Amino acid sequence: MLFNSLTFLIFLVCTLGLYYTLPHKYRWYLLLVGSCIFYMAWRIEFIFLILFSSFFNYYIGILIEKYNSKGKFILTFGLIINFIILFIFKYSIFINHSFMALYNYFNIPYPIKDFDIILPMGISFYTFQATSYTIDIYRKRYKAEKNILKVSLYIMFFPQLVAGPIERADRLLNQLFLKHNFNINNISTGIKIMLIGYFKKIVIADRVAILVNTVYNSPYDYSGISFIIATIFFAIQLYCDFSGYSDIAIGCAKLFGINLMENFKSPYFSKTVKEFWTRWHISLSTWFKDYLYIPLGGNRKGTIRTYFNLMITFLVSGIWHGANWTFILWGGLNGFYQIIGDLKHKFFKYIGFNIKNKYINNFFNVFKILITFSLICFSLIFFRANTVKDAFYIVNNLFSDIANISNIQYLYNISTELGLNIFEILASTGCIILLFIIELFEYKQRIYITLNKLPFIIRFIFYYLITIIIISMGVFSNAGQFIYFQF
């Protein structure tokens, strides 16, 4: 059941109506049943896998708390089982194909035949959410929940089930069972946040996806400027698709009086790659920081070890995003960016580099934003390319026709070959500009908070405009699946 479908909207309205109609003690049961229905609308049989994950991690939490002296052993066992399941469904085909390619390279017969496994939607997200629950019980951050169905709801809560935000039990678990009275402000705020999410996904992401897919699915038919345009548009598509999902999830939960963590904070206005990763997919970045980077030693064991820990963390992040060498290269490249950024920071600090002039400093900040965005876009070539071969072909030909950048006729000709007509490109660009204006406001706080301080007429015009744009320019036929569903 996709957020950008009429089926979901009907499901949401019905669930919301029943939620505020039922007595408080039955409401969380409704959310649990609704979450099961939501997930089974994709594939019925995989409900048993997520229920197993919920029940298994519930018992692991109970055992860790009961047998404290053996907590580390029990936790380790739990983590191994969780990640074996994730490995089987997500990485077994990748590993098999990698060995198959290696054997073929040396002309050695490969004994294992090719096979296919369906990747359960959201398995990476709910596995991470479930394992954080058991790890935090081991760390004594909270006590194990004694009701198995309550743990199941925490792991399966439908707004953030398949693509996050990846919540922690200390934030979400108790919220699910508090009494939430019908509050018109929660309804209003939830709808406003969801509107922004739908604007990002339906109007921008699904439209520019046509251009991105046209180029990246047939890279050998295109050249440099086309690659640059497609890569920039993919950066916009990826952000709008994923942050759009997060906005819809956060807004949807708000309708029920439940607050999910903010997952994006205007990441493309970051001045360094390090800052970017504090603003992009925050729930995943903090998960890797708390459960991988810091346990590895973080920055507490010297510079070389810090850089090693950074690289391991980003390589694992790359693998988490997808079972393909392209994602591993993407993760490694971002780890390399972090190391170079830290070295640059230390060098500037050593030489005492500091810009005191306000206007020069502002100009320098804009320059840093552009450089950071360019670095992120370059790394996304590996994220989006279908194969490593395609990725390196695009990189090698990225500037192959850059001499024609000032040739208006040339630019017009290639723009007509990218899958969108001129009107669609101009309309998409206009919507992207509107988005970046919104992002400027959201750099410090959510746009709806800023708008709440302004007169009613301004708020009405803004949300009316967003609604009209969604209705008139949204891609509704063959609604696009969210990119992060594959992870």
243-263 tens-digit pLDDT: 999 999 999 999 999 999 999
Asked whether residue 1 carries a pLDDT value surpassing 90, the answer given is no
Distance, CA of 469 to CA of 91 (rounded, Å) = 40
DSSP-assigned letter for residue 257: T
For residue range 360-386, list pLDDT tens digits in order: 888 889 999 999 999 999 999 999 999
Looking at the structure, do residues 236 and 320 belong to the same domain, yes or no? yes
Which amino acid, one-letter code, is at 53? S
Sorting pLDDT into bands at 50, 70 and 90, what band is 449? confident
pLDDT of 100: 86
Nearest to 56 by CA among 28, 84, 14, 30: 84
| Number of structural domains in the chain | 2
Q: What is the pLDDT of residues 381-432, one digit of tens each?
A: 999 999 999 999 999 999 988 888 888 888 888 888 888 888 888 889 999 9
Question: Is 203 found in the same domain as 137?
Answer: no
Judged against a pLDDT cut of 80, whether residue 486 lies above it is answered with no
- 116: number of Cβ within 10 Å: 5
Helical segments of 256-353, H only: 273-279, 282-288, 294-296, 303-321, 325-351
Same domain, 240 and 144: no
109 and 228 share one domain:
no
Which tokens is 91 given? 């990485």
Looking at this protein, which amino acid is placed at residue 403?
Answer: A
Assigned domain for 393 exists: yes
Domain that holds residue 336: 186-486
The Cβ of residue 96 has, within 10 Å, a number of other Cβ atoms equal to 16
Residue 164 sits in the same domain as residue 313: no
> Picking from 78-92, 119-133, 444-458, which range would have the lowest pLDDT averaged per residue?
444-458
Over residues 10-42, the pLDDT tens digits come to: 999 999 999 999 999 999 999 999 999 999 988
Residue with tokens 């996709």: 2
Residues in the chain: 487
Q: What is the mean pLDDT of residues 440-468?
A: 88
Is position 13 within any domain?
Answer: no
Any domain includes 241: yes
167 lies in the same domain as 51: yes
Instruction: Tell whether 238 and 276 lie within a shared domain.
Output: yes
State the average pLDDT over residues 154-159: 94
Residues 79 and 221 in one domain: no
52-81 pLDDT tens trace:
999 999 999 999 998 888 989 999 999 999
Cβ–Cβ < 8 Å for 164, 246: yes
pLDDT band at 105 (very low <50, low <70, confident <90, very high): confident
Q: Is residue 23 included in any domain, yes or no?
A: no
Q: Which helix (H) or strand (E) holds 470?
A: helix 456-473
Which one-letter amino acid corresponds to residue 409? Answer: Q
Question: Whose CA is closest to 204, among 249, 247, 256, 240?
Answer: 240
Does a structural domain hold residue 78?
Answer: yes
**In this prediction, what percent of the chain has a pLDDT beyond 90?**
68
Render pLDDT for 180-215 as a digit per residue (tens, 0 to 9).
Answer: 999 999 999 999 999 999 999 999 999 999 999 999
| Final residue belonging to a domain, choices 158, 178, 198 | 178
**Contact by Cβ (8 Å): 247, 200:** yes
**Average pLDDT for the chain:** 91
Q: What is the pLDDT of residue 162?
A: 83
**How confident is the model at residue 479, as a pLDDT?**
59
Which letter, b or e, does each residue of 234-245 get, where b requires 16 or more Cβ atoms within 10 Å of its Cβ?
Answer: bbbbbbbbbbbb
Rounded (10°) CA dihedral 331, 333, 339, 343: -160
pLDDT, mean of residues 78-87: 95
State the pLDDT at residue 411: 84
pLDDT at 4 over 90: no
Same domain, yes or no, for 139 and 278? no
**What's the pLDDT score for residue 485?**
63
Q: Does some domain include residue 5?
A: no
DSSP 3: T
**pLDDT digits 0-9 by tens, 258-277:** 999 999 999 999 999 999 99
Sequence-separated contacts (24+) of 179-188 with Cβ below 8 Å: 179/24, 180/27, 180/256, 180/257, 180/258, 181/257, 182/20, 183/257, 186/254, 186/255, 186/256, 186/257, 187/255
Residues annotated as catalytic (active site), given as ranges = 321
Work out the average pLDDT over 134-155: 94
55 and 71 in a single domain? The answer is: yes
From the centroid of its chain, how far is CA 175? 23
Residues 256 and 150 in one domain: no
Q: Is the dihedral of CA 252, 254, 257, 260 positive or negative?
A: positive
Picking from 160, 178, 196, the residue at the C-terminal end of a domain is 178
Q: Which of 213, 212, 190, 95 is nearest to 446 (CA)?
A: 190
**106 and 203 share one domain:** no
Average pLDDT of the residues in 214-234: 93
Q: Is residue 258 part of a domain?
A: yes
CB 157 within 8 A of CB 33: no
pTM: 0.92
**Under a CB-based contact definition with an 8 Å cutoff, are residues 28 and 101 in contact?**
no
463 occurs within a structural domain: yes
178, 199, 230 - which closes a domain: 178
> Residue 152 and residue 11: Cα distance in Å, rounded?
20
